Amino acid sequence: MTTSDLKLRIFREIDSLEKSKLEDIYGVIMNYINGQRDISEWNKLTSNQQKGIYDAIDEMDAQQGILNETILEKYRKKYSHD
């Protein structure tokens, strides 16, 4: 498979995604690109911290995560001074 073929396959897959999944894949791609530039922060983490991140990724992959909006709403209600 040529580079052009691979790019076209990736484009077609991405082009068929719904908006929320498109935003997710954008985040993954940007994290990958940015992560390739500087991994020194990762190397500064302890093995327990790295394991915790891997565990969190596994939970998200298993749909066990909590949406950011859910957390924000919870704490907005809790700490609202209205």
The rounded distance, in Å, linking the Cα atoms of 35 and 51 is: 17
- Residue spans per domain, the chain: 1-37, 39-82
- Above 90 in pLDDT, residue 4? yes
At residue 1 the predicted structure's pLDDT band, cuts being 50, 70 and 90, is confident
Q: How far apart are CA 54 and CA 33, in angstroms?
A: 19
| pLDDT band of 43, cuts 50, 70, 90 | confident
Q: What's the rounded mean pLDDT across residues 3-30?
A: 90
C-beta separation of 25 from 17 below 8 A: yes
The pair of three-digit structure tokens given for residue 73, joined into one six-digit string? 């709403």
For residues 24 and 32, is the Cβ–Cβ distance under 8 A? Answer: no
